Chains A and B, each alone.
Chain A
Amino acid sequence: MTRTEILNELKKVFAPYTTNKELLSKINDDTDLIRDLKINSANLVDIIIDAENKYNIEIDFDAADKMINVGSCIDVIREKLEQKNVEYR
């Protein structure tokens, strides 16, 4: 999956947890989940689990710690998808 494909899917993951739909449509790598999208920190675990379910990946503690902005979320998902593909080969 390309970064753009993951970005478009991530918008759907974030959607239930932000009221700022206008900003959501314009997110980029630097968009901070809490500061910019105003996602409550209590929903961060929901986002990790929703991403795990969407991509059928497991996001460990170290990876979850990095998911602060959109760019780092994409990095983590790409890395986990690549690991999964290596395991399947």
Chain B
Amino acid sequence: MNKKMLSTGNDIVSLNAINKTRTNQPGFYSKILSDTEKALYKELLPAGIAFENFVWLLWSIKESAYKYLQRNTPGLVFSPTRFVVQRIEPPFGYATTNIESSETEGTGFGNRPVLKSVITFGSDTLYSKSFIYRELIVSVVNSNEDFENTSWGIKFISSSDPEYQSTAVRIFLVARLNKLLKLDGVTISKSPHGFPLILSHDEHIEIPVSLSHHDQWVAYSFQLA
């Protein structure tokens, strides 16, 4: 893959919507994690992160990495065990808190308490930043450790209906694009391979974007050069 080709990938997991009992069953988590990845849990024990949240953290990192690569490799299939989380690093003194607001956005992660990880898929190496709150996990992936030009947003919405999720995350993203880039006439379309495209007055804008939703949470990420 051409590393200079911009992309982005994100994923959100609503922790109120997961089945905790099932997630803790080896038959479930072994379909997501390899043995070496299971061993990474010890890195998160001091932070008091429950095993089921660790499983969904790795899921969100892997799915974000898949979405990152899929944009430039359209036939790619999401195979959780082929995306290997090599390293995971919680911030010093990390403790899980409630999300501070029902809507939060940023560019880069600055001093925010994010977990950093390194993921490989074949010969590709990718990097992620993840938030774990009591309510949700959200991850964003980039091809290098610099997330200064990565913009992201997380929002609580009033319904978990798939059509509503899809509309709500697009409205959320378009508002941010209008604000940040002064783009107007913005709409979000979908490529034939299923990833979102930004259009301004029906013209494709070359800004890679990723959308995700789960339950009553939606999130976006986009990557500027």
Contact = CB atoms under 8 A, between A and B. Distances in A.
Interface string A26-64: 000000000100101110011011001000000001001
Interface residues of A, number: 17
A42 B162 contact: no
Given A19-B162, A49-B31, A42 B18 contact: yes
Contacts of A68: 77
A64 B213 CA distance: 22
Contacts of B80: 45
Contacts of A65: 77-79
8 closest Cβ pairs, A-B complex: A38-B162, A65-B79, A65-B77, A45-B31, A61-B81, A40-B214, A42-B214, A42-B13
Interface residues of B, number: 25
B28 A49 contact: yes
28 contacts: A19-B162, A35-B194, A38-B162, A38-B163, A40-B213, A41-B11, A41-B78, A42-B13, A42-B17, A42-B18, A42-B56, A42-B214, A45-B31, A45-B32, A45-B80, A48-B31, A49-B22, A49-B27, A49-B28, A49-B31, A61-B82, A64-B31, A64-B79, A65-B77, A65-B78, A65-B79, A66-B77, A68-B77
Interface string B8-22: 000101000111001
B134 to A, nearest CB: 17
A41 B31 contact: no
Nearest to B23: A45
Given A20-B162, A42-B13, 4 more contacts: A40-B214, A42-B17, A42-B59, A61-B31
A46 B79 contact: no
A85 B161 CA distance: 41
A68 B75 CA distance: 12
A23 to B, nearest CB: 11
Nearest to A37: B162
Nearest to B78: A41
Interface in A1-42: 19-20, 35, 38, 40-42
A52 B27 CA distance: 10
Interface in B26-85: 27-28, 31-32, 56, 59, 63, 77-82
A16 to B, nearest CB: 11
A65 to B, nearest CB: 5
A62 to B, nearest CB: 8
A28 B214 CA distance: 26
A38 B78 CA distance: 16
A87 to B, nearest CB: 20
Contact of B19 (A35, A46, A48, A64): A46
A82 B166 CA distance: 40
Contacts of B32: 45
Contacts of B19: 46
Nearest to B31: A45
A41 B63 contact: yes
B194 to A, nearest CB: 6
